[in-house]
Amino acid sequence: MKAPSRSLFTVLALGYAFLYIPIVILVIYSFNESKLVTVWSQFSTIWYQELFKDEQLLTAAWVSLRIAFFTATAAVGLGTIAGLILARFGQFRGKTFFSALMTAPLVMPEVITGLSLLLLFVAMQDLLGFPHGRGMFTIWVAHVTFTTAYVTVIITSRLRELDNTIEDAALDLGATPAKVFFVITLPIIAPALISGWLLAFTLSIDDLVIASFVAGPGSTTLPMVIYSSVRLGVSPKINALATIIIGIITFVAIFATWLMLRMEKQRKKEMEQALIAANAQL
């Protein structure tokens, strides 16, 4: 295999520059004292102080964090079941329809998802009186629905990568399917569960369009506050907020990658040891 040419590496470098320059500029100007985002005056952390005085913004951030936490947790539960069905249950009637339902939210325009869920909640309230009004609960339901699709894709592809000989062996030796799932399958797919949880969390905390449709009074999320502030123009406070978000995400992404690599190594080592032990028995 030949190494790619120098011109290809130039394209790659330009691509990374394109992806990162706007973010770097955003971060730099969050430390600018001037209110004009595009004119540099001097280094200052005044906008960070302003940020932590903004009650409305902090309340919205707390709302978003709670929704994202419960969304990610539910999406991993539901996505694990869906992934198991798609990867391990073989054929069943309605499987094509089932997998179409699972993959549709990946590409569905957000305005359609948002509008259709809102109309459902309104119709349900009309017919059943539940959910009463809209708020954090309806946002949670909407977010679980669209993030589960992503989690399912991650978990399904992980399950397909792994051969199921150990699972089969355990079943042959008399373990119940539930026991096999909790003792063998779950630990093996743990890295996929972590990345699925994190992806669902970021998708939920980032969503503006769907939440705008299904939110009610008192459930203003962080993207909704950012959006209304951005519509009024650029503000260094938003730059400061963006910098904090970017910082947290970078840290978590690096930490999660490190953790998953370590879990993977650990698992490989255990498998090898088990093999050695098994051979010694013979």
Partner 1 sequence: MRHHLRLSLPSGRILIISVPFLWFILFLFIPFAIVFKISFSEIATAVPPYSNLVSTINDTIQLTLNLGNYLYLLTDSLYAAAYLNSIKIAFFSTLLCLLIGYPMAYTISRTEPPIRNLLLMLIVLPSWTSFLIRVYAWIGILKNNGLLNNLLISLGIIDSPLPMLHTNFAVYLGIVYAYLPFMILPLYANLVKMDWGLLDAASDLGARPWKSFLTITLPLSAAGIISGSMLVFIPVVGEFVIPDLLGGPDTLMIGKVLWQEFFNNRDWPVASAVAVVMLLVLMWPILIFNRHQNKQMQS
Tokens of 141: 């339901």
Residue 65 contacts partner 1 per CB under 8 A: no
On the 0-12 / 13-18 / 19+ scale of CB atoms within 10 A, 178 is exposed
Q: Using alpha carbons, select from 30, 59, 46 the residue that is nearest to residue 217.
A: 59
Tokens of 97: 């329809």
- Min dist. Cβ of residue 279 to partner 1 (A): 25
DSSP secondary structure code for residue 173 in this structure: T
User: Alpha helix (H) ranges present in 89-135?
Assistant: 95-107, 110-128
- Min dist. Cβ of residue 212 to partner 1 (A): 8
Spatial distance between the Cα atoms of 221 and 75, rounded to a whole number of angstroms: 19
266 vs 273 by CB, closer to partner 1: 266
Residue span binding partner 1 (CB under 8 A) among the ranges 46-54, 65-73, 247-255, 262-270 = 247-255
* Out of 23, 186, 271, 274, the residue judged to bind partner 1 by CB under 8 A: 23
Judged by CB under 8 A, the chain residues 174 through 233 that form the site for partner 1 are 176-177, 180, 202, 205-206, 208-209, 212-213, 223, 226-227, 230-231
Judged by CB under 8 A, the chain residues 86 through 145 that form the site for partner 1 are 86-90, 92, 94, 96, 98-112, 115-117, 119-120, 122-123, 126, 141-142, 144-145
Tokens of 198: 């994190």
111 vs 276 by CB, closer to partner 1: 111
